Amino acid sequence: MTDNLTIARQFIQALPFSRALGMQLTDLGPGTATIRMPWDAHLVGDPATGVLHGGAISALMDTASGASVMSHPAAPVSTATLDLRIDYMRPASPGQTITARAECHHVTRSVAFVRVVAVDDDADRPVAVGTGAFTLDRPKGAAE
């Protein structure tokens, strides 16, 4: 039996952008994915505060969302972001790892819908929340 988590981790690490941001896939389930991004000074958006740049957090949330689509039982061959809305709730705490947890909660013939939350050490107060729509490219001959 193939270890899907290992394969998914290798895929995330093969993406130069994900690797540059230090992303690490920590959990993968049917339609769910969790990816963490350790705080790093080169990702800071405001040197005066040490707060991570919102673009780095957006990239983390987008990557986790795409991974949740790819792990969905509908088994798409590939996916791409159609729409991703992110609402920032508060600044990420300087020095803390950010974790994004995404769930692909609904799939149609050609579009998957995702919810994603990004947190730092204070998991009860999200840094950002998002919703997205992703394309589905299914294997030839797959049931739709």
pLDDT at 9: 83
Fill in the DSSP letter of residue 79: -
Residuewise pLDDT in 10s, the chain (144 residues): 357 778 788 888 888 999 999 999 999 999 999 999 999 999 999 999 999 999 999 999 999 999 999 999 986 788 999 999 999 999 999 999 999 999 999 999 999 999 999 999 999 999 999 999 999 987 666 555
Q: Where are the domains of the chain?
A: 4-135
Q: What is the per-residue pLDDT for 134?
A: 96
Contact 31/40 with Cβ under 8 angstroms? no
pTM: 0.91
Strand pairing category for 128-135 and 44-46: unpaired
Contact between 111 and 135 under an 8 Å Cβ cutoff? The reply is yes
The topology under which CATH files domain 4-135 is Thiol Ester Dehydrase; Chain A (3.10.129)
Burial group, residue 94, by CB count within 10 angstroms (0-12, 13-18, 19+):
middle
The confidence score (pLDDT) of residue 118 equals 98
Query: What pLDDT score does 68 carry?
Result: 95
Say what the pLDDT of residue 74 is: 86
- CA gap 15, 67 in Å, rounded: 12
Predicted local confidence at residue 1, as pLDDT: 35
